[in-house]
Amino acid sequence: MSDLALNASAAQAEAKPRSARPVAIWLWSLAALVFLMVVVGGATRLTESGLSITEWKPLTGVIPPLSQADWAAEFDHYKQIPQYESVFPNMDLAGFKFIFFWEWSHRILARMIGFVAILPLAYFWIRKQIPASFKPKLALFLVPLAFEPLIGWWMVVSGLQNRTEVAQERLALHLLVASMVFAALVWLASSLRQATADRVISLGVRRFGSLIVFVVFVQIGLGALVAGLRAGRVYNTWPLMDGSFLPSREVLTSLTPFWRNLTDNVALVQLDHRLVAYTLLALAAIQAGVAARYGGKIALRGFILLALVVAQAALGIATLLLAVPLWAGLLHQAFAMLVLGKAVIYRQALSPGAQ
Same-domain pairing of 186 and 262: no
Does a structural domain hold residue 168? Answer: yes
Residues 170 and 284 in one domain: no
Query: Are 186 and 37 part of one and the same domain?
Result: yes
Q: Do residues 187 and 226 both lie within one domain?
A: no
Number of domains in the chain: 2
Residue 12 lies in a domain: no
pLDDT at 57: 83
pLDDT in tens, the chain (355 residues): 444 444 444 444 444 445 678 999 999 999 999 999 999 999 999 999 999 999 888 777 788 999 999 999 999 999 999 999 999 999 999 999 999 999 999 999 999 999 999 999 999 989 888 888 888 888 888 889 999 999 999 999 999 888 888 999 999 999 999 999 999 999 999 988 755 444 678 888 899 999 999 999 999 999 999 999 999 999 999 999 988 999 999 999 999 999 999 999 999 999 999 999 999 999 999 999 999 988 888 899 999 999 999 999 999 999 999 999 999 999 999 999 999 999 999 999 888 755 5
**Residue 3 domain-assigned?**
no
**Does residue 11 sit within a domain?**
no
Question: Where a domain ends, among 149, 172, 193?
Answer: 193
Residue 353: its pLDDT value, please? 59
Same domain, 254 and 296: yes
Asked if residue 105 belongs to a domain, the reply is yes
9 belongs to a structural domain: no
Range of the domain at 345: 201-355
User: 180 and 282: one domain?
Assistant: no
Same domain as 306, residue 186: no
Q: Which of 175, 193, 211 is the last residue of a domain?
A: 193
> 353 and 216: one domain?
yes
The answer to whether residue 144 is domain-embedded is: yes
Last residue of a domain, one of 146, 174, 193: 193
| pTM of the predicted structure, to 2 decimals | 0.90
Query: CA–CA separation, 251 vs 335, rounded Å?
Result: 30
**Residue 219 within any structural domain of the chain:** yes
Q: Does 123 lie in the same domain as 228? A: no
Whether residue 162 is found in the same domain as residue 209? no
- Indicate whether 168 and 263 sit together in one domain: no
Q: Please indicate, yes or no, whether residues 75 and 185 belong to a single structural domain of this protein.
A: yes
